[in-house]
Amino acid sequence: MPSYHEVVTTDLSTLTTAAQNWDDMAKELHDTVEPAYRDDVHGISLGGPIWNGLSASAAHARFDVTLKEIQAAQTEAKAVASLLRDAHTQFVDLKKAVERARDDAVKAGMKVSDQGVCHFDFSKVSEQEAFAIHHDPDLRETEMSWTAHIAAAVKAVADADDGVRIALNAVVKDTDPLHGMPGGFNAGAQGDVEVYEADEVEDIARRVADGKKVSDAEMAGLQRALRDNHDDKAFGQELMRDLGPHKTIKLGNELNDRLQDADGPQRLQLAEVEKNLANTMATATAVPGSVKDMPPGSPAFTAWVNSKDGAFYKEWTEGMKKEGTKNFGPNTNPQYGYQSYVSLMQHADQDFDDQFLYDLGDQTIKAEKDHPGIFTMWGPGHKGIETDAVDGVLDLMSRNPDAATAFFDPAGNGSGADHVGNDHLTYLAGSGDGAREWPKNTITGYGVTDFDDPTSRLGLGRALEAASTGHEPLTEGESGGRPGPHTAAQARVMQHTIEVLDDGAGGEDVHANLRKPLGHAIADYAMDNHNILAENGTKYGSPQGKDGIWTEGDHAGITVGKDSLMRVMRGVSADDQTYALLQDTQRQYAMDQMTQAPDSAGSGNDAWKNPARDLGAVTGAMNSIGSDVILDERDGKISAANDMAKYAYHGAGAPITGLPVLGDTAQRLIDAGTYEWSKDVADAASSQAQEENSDHYSSGINSTYDMIDQWAADRGVDVDDENNSRHDPNWDAWQAMRDEAKQSYGTSRGDAAVYLGWE
C-alpha cells in the first residue's frame, strides 16, 4: 500500500509518458514491422514462382501464426496504453482528494507529517490558546479523526492501485489460444481497468453464489472491487453479464443467508458487499433519458433496447423474466427469483433508474398475473427476503420520486407516438374487479389458513407519498417542510388516489399500512384541502369538485369533491398520529391565511370575516372527522381523543411526522395559544346524537374561537373588553368573525353528517 508521502510526491505524468511509449510501439508494429513481415516473409509462402510445395505450405502456417502474434502485440500494446491512461485519470483525481483532505486538516489547525499523521499546530495560536488546547480532553480524538480522514483518502488510492495491478497482470495473458501461438500476445486485450477487475472477482462471486468457501483475502477482494467500482458502468455490466441473472440471484440469496448467521466485522463486510452489489446493478441497468419522455413500451425505448447501447439491458431483462418466476427454494416454502432480486436491490443506497423501475414494476405485475400466488408468503417466509416483489419494487420507487410519479400518473408518459398510458394506480390501490388481490400469508398444518400479510402495501404507501409530493417518504418525526408546490403529474396522482380510494364512497376504509404515508401526502396539499373544505372559488368547483386538476404555470393542485376528501381524510385518520397531523396542518394553514388579512376589517368586515369563515369551515370538518373516529371506537371515547392529542403540536408527546412549516406570524400565534382541540373533538363526538336534528352542529367550536381571539389580540383588539368601551371598530369586526366562524363551522359539520353517514 502506498504511503501518504508516496501519494503526494509521486510524479503521475510518468504514466502518460509510458502510455505514449506503448502507443508508439503499437504504431511501429503496425506501420513498419507488420508490413515488412507481411511482404518479405509471410508473402513468399503464399505460392508463386519463388516457393511452392509442401515446405511452402508448412512455412505458411508458421508464418501466419507469427503475423497474428504481431497483430495481437499491437492490440496488447494499445490496451496497456489505455490502461495506463485510465490509471492516470484515476490517480490524479484520487491524489487531489488526498490533498484536499490534507488541506482541510490544515484549515482545522492541524500540522500534517510526511506520514499523514495530524497534530495540532500550536505555532499558529497564542500562548493562552495553546494552554487551553493542550488541556482539552478531546484534542487527541480530534487529531486522530483528521489522521483517519487523510488515511481514508490514501486507502482509496491504494484500492485503485490494486485494481490497476490486476488489470496489468491480466492484459498480457493470452485469452484466445486459437489465435496465434498459445501463451502469446493477447489479441483480446481491453483498455479498461474495471473490465479486468470484474473478470477477477467473477470467479469469487460465482463460488460464493454456489455456497462454496472463499478465503478471507478473496472476500476482501470482492468487497474492494464492488466498493470501488459500483458506480462504473463498464465494470457493472461486465460483472453482471458474466454472472447472468441466475447466478446473481443465487449470489444475493447466499449473501443474505450468510448475513443472517454472521456477526461483528464479518457481518459488516457482508452487508457492504450486498450493498455495493446492489449499487453495481443500479449503475449497470441505467437507461439514458427520462421515463417521462421515453417510457418503456414506447417506440423510442424499444429502439434503444434494440440498439448496441441497449444490448446489455435487453439481455439482462429478458434473462430476468425467465429467472424471476423460477423457484430457488424448497417446494414447501418457495422463494422465487423476483423476490430475491428485488430484495437484493433494496440494499442499494443509490437510486435505480426511473425507466428500469417502471419496466420492472410492469414485469413483476405480469409475473403474478401469469403465475397466480407467486408472491404468497408461506409460513414464516424467508428472513431478509421481500415476499411481495411488486410491493418491493414500489418501495424502491419511493426512493426515486420521479419514477414513482411516472408509474402512477394516470395521464401516462411520453408524447406523440411515444405516449404510453397506464392504470397502475387503479390496479394497486383500487378494490373490486380489475384491482390487485394482495398476497396473503398462508400457514399450513392440519389445514390451510390465510392471514393478511403485516407488511402488505408498505411499499405502495411509500411510493404514493413520493409520487404525489415529489419527495422521499418522511421519516419518523421529520417535518414536512412548506407544503407544495406540486407538478401537474404529482397532482394527478394525488387526485386519482383520492378518487380511487373513494370509489363507491368507500374512502373511510383505508388499509392500515397506507394511512400514515397518505396522511403525509394529503397534508402536503394543505392549500387545496383548505379551499375545498371551505368551498372557496371556482378553481376547485367545491363542493362537487372537478374532473381534472387545476394548473397555473408550473404549479398544480387537486380539485376533488369535498365529500371524497373528507371521507379519505377520515379513512387515514384511523391512525392517531395521522389525524393529529391533518388536524394541526389545516388549523395552521387557516391561521396562516388569517395573518394575511389587512389591518383594517374593511366595509362590512369582509376582509376579516372571510378568513374566519374559512377557519370555521375547516375546523368544523376536522372536528367531525375526529369525532367519527371516536364514535367508531364505541367505548373509551375520551381515551381515543387523548390518543390523538398525544401527537398534537402543542402537546408534550411525540412530534407529528410531516407537519408542514408555515408562516412565521401564524407559527408565533399558534405557539402562544393553547388550543386543546382534543376536547373539542370529544365534545363534538359526545353531542353528535343530539345534533342530528340540529341546523347548527356547533359543539366543539371553542378552540376555533380561541384562535380568532389570539389573532385579534395580536391586531390590538382588547378581547377582554366585553362592552367595547373604547369603541374600537375592529372590536365589532372581531365579533363578526366569531359569528361567521360559528356559522361556517356548523355548516361544515352538517355536511359531515351526510358525507360520513350520520344521517
User: What's the whole-number mean pLDDT along residues 619-626?
Assistant: 93
The predicted pLDDT at position 674 comes to 64
pLDDT band, very low/low/confident/very high, at 413 (cuts 50, 70, 90): very high
CA 46/CA 51 separation, integer angstroms: 8
pLDDT exceeds cutoff 70 at 240: yes
Q: What's the whole-number average pLDDT of the chain?
A: 89
How many domains is the chain built from? Answer: 2
pLDDT band, very low/low/confident/very high, at 178 (cuts 50, 70, 90): low
Residue 45 lies in a domain: yes
Burial of 376 (0-12, 13-18, 19+ CB in 10 A): middle
pLDDT exceeds cutoff 90 at 651: no
Of the candidate ranges 342-346, 443-447, 465-469, the one whose mean pLDDT is the lowest: 443-447
CA 388/CA 392 separation, integer angstroms: 6
Residue 665 lies in a domain: yes
Cβ atoms of 359 and 406 closer than 8 Å: no
pLDDT in tens, 536-578: 988 999 999 999 999 999 999 999 999 999 999 999 999 989 9
The predicted pLDDT at position 759 comes to 61
Domain boundary among 132, 157, 189: 189
Residue 279 lies in a domain: no
Cβ atoms of 218 and 174 closer than 8 Å: no
**Percent of the chain topping pLDDT 90:** 60
**For residue 402, which of 479, 497, 289, 483 has the smallest C-alpha distance?**
289
pLDDT exceeds cutoff 60 at 109: yes
Q: How far is CA 255 from CA 28, 259, 290, 734, in A?
A: 49, 6, 32, 68
Kind of pairing, strands 448-452 and 110-112? unpaired
Domain boundary among 189, 214, 240: 189
Contacts of 119 (CB under 8 A, 6+ apart): 110, 111, 113, 143
Residue 15 lies in a domain: yes
pLDDT in tens, 494-546: 999 999 999 999 999 999 999 999 999 999 999 999 999 999 988 999 999 99
For residues 193 and 336, the model is more confident at: 336
pLDDT exceeds cutoff 60 at 728: yes
Contacts of 20 (CB under 8 A, 6+ apart): 81
The predicted pLDDT at position 608 comes to 92
- DSSP H or E segment with residue 452: strand 448-452
Burial of 462 (0-12, 13-18, 19+ CB in 10 A): buried
User: What's the whole-number mean pLDDT along residues 658-678?
Assistant: 79
- Record the cell numbers describing residue 86, joined without a space: 485510465
Residue 90 lies in a domain: yes
Cβ atoms of 345 and 363 closer than 8 Å: no
CA 410/CA 419 separation, integer angstroms: 12
pLDDT band, very low/low/confident/very high, at 251 (cuts 50, 70, 90): very high
**Percent of the chain topping pLDDT 70:** 93
pLDDT exceeds cutoff 60 at 692: no
Helix, strand or coil, per DSSP, at residue 544: coil
pLDDT exceeds cutoff 80 at 652: no
Number of helices followed by number of strands (H, E) in the chain: 31, 7
The predicted pLDDT at position 694 comes to 53
The predicted pLDDT at position 33 comes to 83
Q: Report which listed range, 115-129, 133-147, 344-358, 584-598, is most confident.
A: 344-358
pLDDT in tens, 268-323: 999 999 999 999 999 999 999 999 999 999 999 999 999 999 999 999 999 999 99
pLDDT band, very low/low/confident/very high, at 636 (cuts 50, 70, 90): low
Kind of pairing, strands 440-444 and 377-378? parallel
pLDDT band, very low/low/confident/very high, at 47 (cuts 50, 70, 90): low
For residues 703 and 559, the model is more confident at: 559
pLDDT exceeds cutoff 70 at 124: yes
Residue 430 lies in a domain: no
Domain boundary among 123, 158, 189: 189
Angle at the Cα of 53 (from 52 to 57), degrees rounded to 5? 90
pLDDT band, very low/low/confident/very high, at 691 (cuts 50, 70, 90): low
Residue 458 lies in a domain: no
Residue 62 lies in a domain: yes
The predicted pLDDT at position 56 comes to 66
Helix, strand or coil, per DSSP, at residue 443: strand
Q: Which residue range(s) make up the domain with 126?
A: 4-189
pLDDT exceeds cutoff 80 at 340: yes
Look-up of cell digits 402537546: 651
pLDDT exceeds cutoff 60 at 649: no
CA 147/CA 546 separation, integer angstroms: 63
pLDDT exceeds cutoff 70 at 134: yes
Q: Report which listed range, 82-91, 327-336, 725-734, is most confident.
A: 327-336
The predicted pLDDT at position 679 comes to 81
